[in-house]
Amino acid sequence: MKTKAQHDEDTVEQGPLGTRERIVRTASRLMQRQGYEASGVKQISQEAGATLGSLYHFFPGGKQQLAAEAIRHGDREFADILGEMLDSRPDPAGAIDDCAVALAEGLHASAWLDGCPVTATALGAAGHLPDIQRAAAEAFQRWRELVYEKLRGAGIAEDEARELASTVISTLEGAEMAAQVARSEEPLRAAGRQLARLINSYR
Amino acid sequence: MKTKAQHDEDTVEQGPLGTRERIVRTASRLMQRQGYEASGVKQISQEAGATLGSLYHFFPGGKQQLAAEAIRHGDREFADILGEMLDSRPDPAGAIDDCAVALAEGLHASAWLDGCPVTATALGAAGHLPDIQRAAAEAFQRWRELVYEKLRGAGIAEDEARELASTVISTLEGAEMAAQVARSEEPLRAAGRQLARLINSYR
DNA sequence: TACCGGATAGAGCGCTCGCTCTAGAGCATG
DNA sequence: CATGCTCTAGAGCGAGCGCTCTATCCGGTA
């Protein structure tokens, strides 16, 4: 039998994280790539270096609870990146374009596997798993608000900024999906340039 | 035992369509709502009023082949609608806005269940089922070309029209997903207005 | 030392999955 | 009627699903 410390040393990938965190991250990554239905709890626990017992200890709500937490993890992850990119330049148009390029390069680097962590999980479950849908809706809302604040800070009026921020997020999501399916950076790069043009038309 | 004719009379829903066509349409609708993995071949055959034997007779390639044909069906379906809407008005900006509003109303009318028929099927399978991914990529490409021709007809230059058409499709896809998750027409309506503004900025 | 609760471990439950296989129905030919 | 072909019919296969359950390990406390 392994001690806890020995066990942690064996799971090379994710460092000194706790079991619960490893499970959430693994679930998020797997569902991002395969969707909700195709990601089994046994696969998740194995790749996380945990066991089924641990998984159900930390997530008594089962796969559904785990998926909701995985979405919230992806939400925070992308919100951090988006926030950083928006802060790195003063003009919102350039920042959004940078963001699209970064998404394109990241997607390409993952061999077109890692699309939006929320989309793939949420789409298959949107109709009949309310917890998961709610978590996804909250993620989109948070991202919209980040863009909204940036646009407001650049002097765009409330109503226009709200609608524009919503469209920026929708376009990035759609373009990421298009890029993934087409296995090409071009849809995302085009979207970035067009969004920049659209934003600049308000100034 | 039922004769073929008697059997066709019993399947109320889809009229006098052949078995193969009923299976494709049912598969397309189910995968649109539930995704690829969550739609079982038994469920598809039952709801289509067919049997497993019939399904595997017409689709010896199994679920994968069926999914690819379902995507192509959804492709044609949406391409027809898109083509009609683009033809119904001279100005591309207004036509795209109309299209977004129509998508929003259709999505709402289906109780937020019927999103893009291609997206849900393709996303879960994009990584490891090449046939399905290819069919989805071809669908997006066809839709882009429809928009491209409309923009070209309105006098927009080649390079600009290509990038703009790509962004229009990406934005509509992303906004439809956002609307579905948020259970609100607003993301699609906002996207329609912003796309119209973007298109008009080229004239 | 003995004990306790958090965490780990995995065998096994009932069920459904995609798919195969054999049998037969219906219909156009001679 | 006999033959051959397309299509229908559904029982059943092995595998995997989400989840439950009992047994055990471990560090901290008394």
Per domain, the residue ranges of chain A are 4-200
Report the pLDDT value the prediction gives residue B128, as an integer from 0 to 100. 86
pLDDT classification of A3: cutoffs 50, 70, 90:
very low
Q: Which residues neighbour B80 within 8 Å (Cβ) at sequence distance 6 or greater?
A: none
Tell me if B126 and A182 make a contact (CB, 8 A cut-off). Answer: no
Report the pLDDT value the prediction gives residue B127, as an integer from 0 to 100. 79
Q: Are B203 and B94 in contact (CB under 8 A)?
A: no
pLDDT classification of A149: cutoffs 50, 70, 90:
very high
Partners of residue A113 in chain B, C-beta under 8 Å:
127
Report the pLDDT value the prediction gives residue A16, as an integer from 0 to 100. 66
Q: Which residues of chain B have pLDDT under 70?
A: 1-16
Comparing alpha-carbon positions, the chain B residue that sits nearest to A176 is B170
CA neighbor of B139 nearest in space, from B164, B105, B116, B113: B116
- Is the domain defined by B4-200 classed in CATH 1.10.357.10? yes
Give CA–CA dist A23/A41, Å, rounded.
10
Report the pLDDT value the prediction gives residue B16, as an integer from 0 to 100. 66
pLDDT tens digit sequence for B48-64: 999 999 999 999 999 99
Report the pLDDT value the prediction gives residue A152, as an integer from 0 to 100. 98
Q: Are A172 and A100 in contact (CB under 8 A)?
A: yes
The pLDDT of residue A4 is above 70:
no
Nucleotides, chain C, CB distance < 7 Å: 7-12, 16-27
Report the pLDDT value the prediction gives residue A153, as an integer from 0 to 100. 97
Partners of residue B36 in chain A, C-beta under 8 Å:
35
Report the pLDDT value the prediction gives residue A14, as an integer from 0 to 100. 45
**More confident position, B12 or A159:** A159
Report the pLDDT value the prediction gives residue A8, as an integer from 0 to 100. 37
Q: Which two tokens stand for residue A131?
A: 């917890």
Q: Which two tokens stand for residue B34?
A: 């539930």
